[in-house]
């Protein structure tokens, strides 16, 4: 390959548009991955099963305890164990019911419903987290796949440069150092290609795991890194997410548990009835008539100064802890949102610098180096360095795009409302 052919090849490469995915407005590949993950991911399914289980438990949480049915044989003579020797002997059937102090059952029902709410927001949090992870690893896969493309093109470029260096060296127009340096650059690019291929495969495997489809997952997934938009990401002044919702529900749950602990100071009521079946015996004043007995009982919380008091103290501290945790969670998320907003603004500004100045300057430098090399004003080292600089600038630009979209996914997870509505 002659020198003019090499220069034409370099010019075509340098004039190639830097962003091959810049004209993509919708990322259908990512949308499909998210949809599949939401439908098939086992952790989401497990969270949904837990929510349903909590709902089923809440259906009976406020019911009365099961009644107690009893049977007994009363007052049998020790020697004969007979029912027909004395009027005192009888067969007794009893039914009793425990009735908790008013407010206890409603508190238990509320606690069970709040547990359902917690499982619902846990499910929503899991869905949001899966969406963020799929987005993160998809852009990771896209980044490393596109990196491999850039490096492969640069490798071909260096191959052509090596041919020029070898040709010039064989005609005593170049040096062995030029050949060795270009071969070293080629080897280093090959090493980076291997690393990019391993990284993209690793991200692809992670996507397969998230979508619960490790065998049928296609390696022909389209890589897309959209351009960074000019406008800022709209962040609501007030936002909620499943993590905040869980903290809020946790605070309400702790409050109802405190109410239930306070109600344990009051006794439960037990009511019952016994039916005694008797036989007609001589000298029986009622001629063997059956007896009915009614009873009412109260449990006595005699250890209220120790057990109930400490239970209430523990519940109150748990309630205070839940309130403090909710405030801490709000502060933490607000800080994270602010940090990501600053990061996105920095990435946007840096990307604009690359598009407006750094990349055009690198391309112009590469073109000037071509011309200067052609007329002998720039040595081989300067020519090779200028071409590799264009490659490095493009790789840095792709890194900015990947970071921006991954940070945007993290921001959406923080500020988006729950996917599940708490009912």
- Tens digits of residue pLDDT in 255-273: 999 999 999 899 999 999 9
pLDDT at 370 over 50: yes
Q: How confident is the model at residue 422 (pLDDT cuts 50, 70, 90)?
A: very low
Say if domain 65-99+267-300 classifies as CATH 2.20.200: yes
State percent of the chain over pLDDT 90.
51
For the range 373-382, what are the long-range contacts, defined as Cβ-Cβ under 8 Å and sequence gap of 24 or more? 373/7, 374/3, 374/7, 380/165, 380/174, 380/175, 380/178, 380/181, 380/182, 381/178, 381/181
Q: Which of 193, 214, 308 is nearest to 262 (CA)?
A: 308
Q: How confident is the model at residue 390 (pLDDT cuts 50, 70, 90)?
A: confident
| Nearest-angstrom CA–CA distance, 46 and 33 | 19
Q: Which residues pair with 174 in a beta bridge?
A: none
Q: How confident is the model at residue 77 (pLDDT cuts 50, 70, 90)?
A: confident
Residues of the chain with CATH 1.20.1600.10: 3-64+100-266+301-415
Look at 188 and 421; give whichever has higher pLDDT: 188
Segment 21-44 mean pLDDT: 77
| Nearest-angstrom CA–CA distance, 193 and 250 | 50
Domain 3-64+100-266+301-415: assigned CATH number: 1.20.1600.10
Q: DSSP for 320-339?
A: HHHHHHHHHHHHHHHHHHHH
| Nearest-angstrom CA–CA distance, 142 and 149 | 11
Q: Which residues pair with 96 in a beta bridge?
A: 68, 272
Q: pTM of the predicted model, to two decimals?
A: 0.80
Look at 223 and 184; give whichever has higher pLDDT: 223
| Nearest-angstrom CA–CA distance, 64 and 97 | 8
Residues of the chain with CATH 2.20.200: 65-99+267-300
Q: How confident is the model at residue 154 (pLDDT cuts 50, 70, 90)?
A: confident
DSSP 19: -
| Nearest-angstrom CA–CA distance, 423 and 418 | 12
Q: How confident is the model at residue 11 (pLDDT cuts 50, 70, 90)?
A: very low
Q: How confident is the model at residue 120 (pLDDT cuts 50, 70, 90)?
A: very high
Q: How confident is the model at residue 56 (pLDDT cuts 50, 70, 90)?
A: very high
Maximum distance among all alpha carbons in the chain?
142
Look at 383 and 253; give whichever has higher pLDDT: 253
Q: What is the pLDDT of residue 280?
A: 80
CA 280-286-289 angle, to 5 degrees, is: 60
Element (H, E) at 297: strand 291-298
Q: Give per-residue pLDDT as tens, 317-363.
A: 999 999 999 999 999 998 999 999 999 999 999 999 999 999 888 88
Look at 358 and 158; give whichever has higher pLDDT: 358
Look at 163 and 396; give whichever has higher pLDDT: 396
């Amino acid at each position: 390959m002659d020198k003019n052919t090499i220069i034409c090849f370099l010019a075509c490469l340098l004039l190639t548009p830097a962003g091959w995915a810049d004209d993509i407005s919708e990322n259908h590949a990512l949308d499909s991955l998210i949809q599949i993950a939401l439908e098939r991911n086992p952790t989401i399914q497990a969270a949904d099963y837990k929510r349903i289980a909590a709902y089923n438990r809440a259906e009976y949480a406020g019911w009365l305890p099961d009644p107690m049915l009893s049977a007994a044989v009363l007052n049998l003579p020790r020697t004969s164990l007979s029912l027909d020797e004395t009027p005192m002997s009888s067969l007794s059937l009893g039914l009793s019911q425990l009735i908790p102090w008013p407010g206890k059952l409603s508190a238990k029902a509320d606690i069970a419903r709040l547990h359902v709410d917690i499982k619902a927001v846990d499910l929503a949090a899991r869905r949001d987290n899966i969406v963020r992870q799929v987005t993160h690893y998809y852009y990771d896969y896209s980044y490393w796949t596109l990196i491999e493309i850039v490096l492969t093109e640069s490798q071909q470029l260096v191959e052509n440069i090596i041919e020029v260096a070898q040709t010039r060296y064989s005609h005593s127009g170049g040096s062995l150092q030029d050949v060795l340096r270009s071969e070293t650059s080629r080897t280093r690019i090959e090493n980076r290609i291997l690393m990019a291929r391993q990284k993209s495969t690793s991200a692809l495997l992670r996507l397969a795991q998230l979508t619960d489809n490790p065998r049928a997952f296609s390696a022909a997934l389209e890589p897309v890194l959209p351009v960074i938009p000019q406008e800022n990401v709209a962040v609501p002044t007030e936002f909620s997410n499943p993590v905040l919702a869980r903290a809020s529900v946790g605070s309400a749950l702790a409050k109802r548990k405190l109410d239930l602990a306070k109600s344990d100071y009051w006794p439960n009521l037990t009511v019952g009835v016994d039916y005694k079946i008797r036989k007609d015996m001589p000298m029986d004043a009622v001629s063997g008539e059956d007896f009915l007995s009614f009873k009412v009982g109260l449990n006595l919380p005699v250890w209220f100064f120790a057990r109930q008091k400490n239970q209430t103290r523990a519940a109150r501290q748990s309630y205070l802890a839940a309130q403090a945790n909710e405030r801490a969670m709000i502060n933490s998320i607000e800080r994270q949102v602010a940090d990501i907003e600053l990061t996105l603004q920095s990435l946007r500004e840096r990307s604009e610098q690359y598009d407006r100045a750094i990349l055009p300057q690198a391309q112009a430098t590469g073109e000037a180096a071509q011309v200067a090399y052609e007329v002998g004003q720039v040595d081989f080292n300067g020519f090779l360095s200028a071409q590799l600089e264009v490659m490095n600038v493009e790789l840095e630009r792709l890194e900015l795009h990947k970071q921006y979209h991954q940070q945007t996914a993290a921001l959406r997870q923080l500020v988006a409302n729950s996917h599940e509505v708490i009912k």
